[in-house]
Structure 1
Amino acid sequence: MARTAHLERAHEFSPASIVYRKKRYDYDPGLEAGLDIVRAGDVRAALLLARSGVETLEVNEPLMISAAARSALAIAAVRVAGALRRRRTTVVSYAIENLYPPVPASLKGRVGRRARLVLARFVHANLDRLAFGTDVSRELYRRVFGSGGATATTIPALPSAVHPALTPGRPPIAAFLGAFEERKGLPLLLAAWPLVRERRPDARLLVMGKGALEVLAREAVAIDASIELLVDPSRDTISGALAGAKALVLPSQRRPRWREQVGLPIVEGLAAGCVVVTTSETGLADWLTEEGHYIIPADADAATLAEAVAGALSDRRAPADLLAALPATDGRRAADDWLFGRRPAHDSVTAT
């Protein structure tokens, strides 16, 4: 699935063609300009890849089992084409999954899951390079697949600073960024907000994103003047808002088939110098804890979240102090450089 982040990275990283099947809710078509991007089903994508003579192919990570058939077909296509051309395609992947695929209740679901896991093993076995964004993901892959034949490395999915020149302090603004869904913790945050205001009467909450719970967010805004709502804001608006916020709050809640892998809002908040408040679900939880951010259990109640948010808003560290802990190079970009070996233009394809 293609999303805005994929397009943004494509503009910044080494040139590559993008072949995708579906668009996510946060896909911005305005970012397609200047990119070699093709929408294609599984079979057509495989045929395109077979004809392309691609040197390096990036596929979805093996434990994204919903895409296992597509990835397996793409790999088979370039392997056959490579044998005919006597030039082997390098196959790579970037992994951040941290939840083993659950067992469905129905027999049909269990059979389908087993088949997809077989394909996932094929994908994993045919990788040449595999970059992990978190240690949690790497450990899960070790348990599921063993060591495998791919050359592997871990490059933490941490951003570099995007706002190096920042004022020492910020107003007590907490920002929520993401899908308006229960799994992202928006209802929990709205339930906790009155308790945050009891501790910090000057606190303000900025809610940014879109989704099914927009009505809930609008109801909260209608009864509490300290809450501001921005529905589907532009990237520039998001960047400016985070640059002025003290804390980024993303209280992710695990679901049977989903667990927060990293959390793009967390990455964006860190890059903007925000204190992060989140749950232990993210694969960055250990790093965030070590750096003094506010991590609560996934099953924490509103009172626990309120205490963490109030603590983050009162945190005395300046944005520059938080930014100093970040790497000089964006982790996803560093992983891309490692996966593709800084190859020249037009010799790589990312299939999503």
Structure 2
Amino acid sequence: MQTLRIVPDLRSSVVEEMPATQALLFTSRRADADPALLADPRVSPFTPCRLVAALRDPELAVLEVAEPLWTGEWVRALRWIALAKLLRPRITVATYAIENLDARARLAPRALAHRPVLGAVVTRLAVVAMGVSLLLGLDAVVFGTSGAAENYRRAFGWALRRTRQTVLTPRLSACSVCGPRVEDVTREPTVLFLGTPSERKGFAVLTAAWERAGASERGWRLVVADPSGATDRAVPAGVSIVADPPRATVHALLRTAAVVAMPSVRRPGWREQIGLPLVEGLTHGCRVVTTTETGLADDLRDHPRVVLTTPGDVADLAAGLRRAMDADDRPAPPGPRGATKSDVVAWWLDPLDTSADRR
């Protein structure tokens, strides 16, 4: 049986994790998406004609769409869901949900922030409308974090009662590209920051904590892999920038770095969902310093390679960096395996699976 995934904002990691039985249509893509990965014959730009052709394939069993709280994409997805139900009434419509920002805050109209009573009424109506669309549109949902599961259930529990659902956290061991032997690589005294150095990703907090921790004086360096391509950022001593690194370079940096830092902070209208740097750091055997803002925070509290810190707190982040840098160089136990994308797809394809988590 086959599955089809409609992906907004395609990134390289999505293609790397594709199951063999999945085809992918993308409506947009990241500027740093690796062109070599996009050459995969199972990956194509989205068009309605390609969707109709896929829906006519008798082997197609699951249509995966963007998660509902990605609101702009969900509104568009409702058209494709209606088309799928028309052409293939028995098809399973599924989604992988990781939104960690409170659903009501996510749906609250910013334009009415200065009119709290009207804003509350509109938000309530939006929650009800979203719930009805979930009830009508979704057959199965996999939550990627416990935080996302609680978020959706608080707001839409009534609408999800008839929807198959479970929590499958991401695979956190053995990078599918580099393989399990990445554990044997000699680690350099390097802290790696993956992503655009922005306020919400906590970069200002990280640089302040870096200086406070005295990391440079201890022989460590901070490497920033910045996909934006900027090379003129002001950075403190001991910090270097790798601008617009190709995917192979990202994997090489992850194989040799000792620590990955992802100190996300909450901003209006945004909260860290999972955090790809966190996942990729752990799959490459790095220690990870992050904050409790990630939706995986509750799932990672006892992970041997993870240091959780208070978001926006320079002193706590500095202490966390020191703990990660001072950790024994011997490989730590990898922690729970987690689920691959193939595991997620397998769960969708098995309507008799009784592991659905309905807490």
TM-score w.r.t. the length of structure 1 is 0.82
Aligned to 1:69: 75
Q: Which deviations, in whole Å up to 9, do the C-alpha atoms of 1:167-216 show, x marking residues without a partner?
A: 48633211111123221122221222222226852111111122387532
1:201-350 equivalent positions in 2, closer than 5 A: 201-211=218-228, 214-216=231-233, 219-220=234-235, 224=237, 226-292=238-304, 293-300=306-313, 302-316=314-328, 318-319=330-331, 321-323=332-334, 325-327=335-337, 330-341=339-350
Structure 1: distance between partners of 2:49 and 2:71: 20
Q: In 2 relative to 1, CA 112–291 (structure 1 residues): closer, same or farther, beyond 3 Å?
A: closer
Q: Secondary structure at the match of 1:337?
A: helix
Aligned to 2:212: 195
Aligned to 1:91: 93
Q: Which deviations, in whole Å up to 9, do the C-alpha atoms of 1:147-178 show, x marking residues without a partner?
A: 43111111112322235333486332111111
Q: Which runs of 5+ in 2 are unaligned?
A: 1-7, 352-359
CA RMSD of aligned residues (A): 3.0
Q: Which letter does structure 1 place at the counterpart of 2:63?
A: L
Q: Which letter does structure 2 place at the counterpart of 1:333?
A: S
Q: Which letter does structure 1 place at the counterpart of 2:164?
A: T
Aligned to 1:349: none
- Bigger shift: residues 112-121 or 164-173: 112-121
Q: Secondary structure at the match of 2:289?
A: strand
The correspondence for 2:162, drawn from 149, 156, 166, is 149
Displacement after TM superposition at 1:113 (Å): 9.8
Q: Secondary structure at the match of 1:174?
A: strand
Aligned to 1:186: 203
Aligned to 1:81: 87
How many residues are treated as equivalent by the alignment? 326
Larger helix proportion, structure 1 or 2?
A: 1
Structure 1: distance between partners of 2:291 and 2:221: 21
Q: In 2 relative to 1, CA 38–233 (structure 1 residues): closer, same or farther, beyond 3 Å?
A: same
Q: Which runs of 5+ in 1 are unaligned?
A: 343-352
Q: Secondary structure at the match of 1:318?
A: coil
Q: In 2 relative to 1, CA 45–69 (structure 1 residues): closer, same or farther, beyond 3 Å?
A: farther
Structure 2: distance between partners of 1:25 and 1:213: 13
Structure 1: distance between partners of 2:75 and 2:56: 19
Q: Which deviations, in whole Å up to 9, do the C-alpha atoms of 1:187-246 show, x marking residues without a partner?
A: 221222222226852111111122387532xx21xx62x222211212222222212111
Aligned to 1:348: none
Q: Secondary structure at the match of 1:192?
A: helix
Aligned to 2:194: 177
Structure 1: distance between partners of 2:230 and 2:310: 23
Q: Which letter does structure 2 place at the counterpart of 1:70?
A: R
Aligned to 1:161: 174
TM-score w.r.t. the length of structure 2 is 0.80
Aligned to 2:356: none
Aligned to 1:60: 66
Displacement after TM superposition at 1:95 (Å): 1.0
Q: In 2 relative to 1, CA 232–49 (structure 1 residues): closer, same or farther, beyond 3 Å?
A: same
The correspondence for 1:34, drawn from 35, 40, 44, is 40
Q: Do the aligned residues in 2 keep the contact of 1:49 with 1:77 (CA within 8 Å)?
A: no
Q: Do the aligned residues in 2 keep the contact of 1:207 with 1:228 (CA within 8 Å)?
A: yes
Question: Sequence identity of aligned pairs in percent?
Answer: 32
Displacement after TM superposition at 1:271 (Å): 0.8
Q: In 2 relative to 1, CA 236–28 (structure 1 residues): closer, same or farther, beyond 3 Å?
A: closer
Structure 1: distance between partners of 2:185 and 2:54: 51
Q: Secondary structure at the match of 2:170?
A: coil
Structure 2: distance between partners of 1:257 and 1:105: 9
Aligned to 1:127: 138
Q: Do the aligned residues in 1 keep the contact of 2:224 with 2:239 (CA within 8 Å)?
A: yes
Q: Which letter does structure 1 place at the counterpart of 2:308?
A: I
Q: Which letter does structure 1 place at the counterpart of 2:16?
A: E
Larger relative contact order (Cα-Cα within 8 Å, sequence gap ≥ 6)? 1
